[in-house]
Chains A and B, each alone.
Chain A
């Protein structure tokens, strides 16, 4: 009797170990990923290692070469160690930050940062974590492609005695990040908090307005404005 082979899904993973502590921590996570792979049915991983980061910038002049970005984007997911090095700078004095390029070029518009306290000893405050302590378990969703970072790459006139950065909030940018935050809160405790400075900054007032509009699409989610 012939048994049909189970269907196997292959995930292509682009590994960017990067510089600094990147390779150290990525190696450890690699061990864990390998061990978990042996426990999974129907899924296998293949890897492509790409050299990116400030170290690569020092060697070849570009911390995130277009060819590397192209290879990375052909993969299913991208685990990254670390990319910037404070000592490696462009001639303008600004740090080479391929970690920001790698968010903006493929339009990774929202950052998800789960904050969860695992042990009471990890908290600087008493009364959190452990059996009787209060939990810390929330997620920060950060807009990644505009806001105060919107024109960080724009060249500036030389010789000025001041410099400015622009806080830009677009309808599209605000809508999509708010929507993802609401979707995420639906699968959690259904509470979504908006953090802004809308009482002072007009750009933030736009963010507030759009947050409220998107909130109407999610009537089950409780909202909060801080």
Chain B
């Protein structure tokens, strides 16, 4: 499988596997798209959902602000999709689109992808894209960019659609919270 992931990663849609195999393959898979800083994740059960970047604590890069927060931002989008309220699902799509817009500008490349944008500046252009402003407006040293239409990547179905579909597997929206949870 590891060989196929390297040779023809475009051939796969969903794959399911055991714990350790999943650990290894998702590391390899993150390497296909720019590393751990680009790979969000959700750990889900019937009652709870935990949303985190795949990167781990990465103590060797902590401190100077060079960590890539894109995976964390996308994992917030996964959280909103999982909450499964029409408005949170819309919020998830807005974030995913804003990240796409922001990444379309090479000026916003993170340090781990060979760029110079520090962690503490990467959230700002995503916010700007969310607000419909040109990302470049935050960076006066760059000429203003034309508005970049959100790239519709690889067909109509986004990862977030997939996650919101997971949310819909339960009968009702995640929120408001079922009272049974508080009784635990």
Contacts and interface: CB of A to CB of B under 8 A. Distances in A.
Contact of A26 (B72, B95, B162, B169): B72
Contact of B175 (A9, A78, A84, A142): A9
B45 interface: yes
A65 interface: no
Contact of B48 (A29, A108, A114, A194): A108
A106 B14 contact: no
B41 interface: yes
Q: Which one of B153, B161, B162 has the greatest number of beta carbons of chain A within 10 Å?
A: B162
A214 to B, nearest CB: 9
B159 A139 contact: yes
Contact of B88 (A40, A84, A137, A189): A40
Given A25-B69, A117-B33, A184-B165, A191 B12 contact: yes
Contacts of A140: 15, 17, 22, 25-26, 29
Query: Chain A contact residues: over half helix, strand or loop, or mixed?
Result: mixed
B91 A118 contact: no
Contacts of B90: 40
Contacts, number: 386
A188 B38 contact: no
A117 B32 contact: yes
B87 A141 contact: no
B181 to A, nearest CB: 7
Given A12-B177, A43-B91, A128-B10, A111 B56 contact: no
B83 interface: yes
Interface in B70-91: 71-76, 78-80, 82-83, 85, 87-88, 90-91
B165 A112 contact: no
Contacts of B171: none
Interface of B: 1, 4, 6, 9-10, 12-23, 25-26, 29-34, 38-59, 61-62, 65, 67-69, 71-76, 78-80, 82-83, 85, 87-88, 90-91, 94-95, 98-100, 103-104, 106, 109, 113, 119-120, 122-124, 126-127, 130-131, 151, 153-155, 157-159, 161-166, 169, 174-177, 181-182, 184
14 contacts: A32-B95, A82-B55, A107-B48, A112-B43, A113-B29, A114-B163, A115-B29, A116-B154, A118-B33, A137-B10, A147-B19, A184-B162, A187-B162, A189-B157
